[in-house]
Amino acid sequence: MLRIGEVAERAGVAASALRYYEREGLIPRAARRGGARVYEESILDRLALIEVAKAAGFTVAEMKRLLSGFARKTPPGVRWRSLAESKLEELDRRAEEIQRMKRVLEAVTGCHCPTLEDCSSALRNEPLT
Residue-level pLDDT at 57:
95
Kindly report the pTM of this predicted structure.
0.76
Residue 122 CB coordination number (10 Å) = 14
What is residue 84's predicted lDDT score, i.e. its pLDDT?
Answer: 94
Instruction: Dump the DSSP string for 3-60.
Output: EHHHHHHHHTS-HHHHHHHHHHTSSPPPEEETTEEEE-TTHHHHHHHHHHHHHTT--H
Cβ atoms within 10 Å of 69's Cβ, excluding its own: 14
Per residue in 55-84, pLDDT (tens digit) is 999 999 999 998 887 877 888 889 899 999
* Cα Rg of the chain, angstroms: 23
- What's the average model confidence in pLDDT over 35-39? 89
pLDDT at position 129 is 67
Map out the domains of the chain as residue ranges: 2-69
Average pLDDT score, the chain: 91
| Average pLDDT of span 1-19 | 95
Other beta carbons within 10 Å of 113 = 13
- What's the topology of domain 2-69? Multidrug-efflux Transporter Regulator; Chain: A; Domain 2 (1.10.1660)
Give the span between the Cα atoms of 21 and 35, in whole angstroms: 19
Residue 85: what pLDDT?
Answer: 96
In this structure, are residues 119 and 113 in contact, taking their beta carbons and an 8 Å threshold? yes
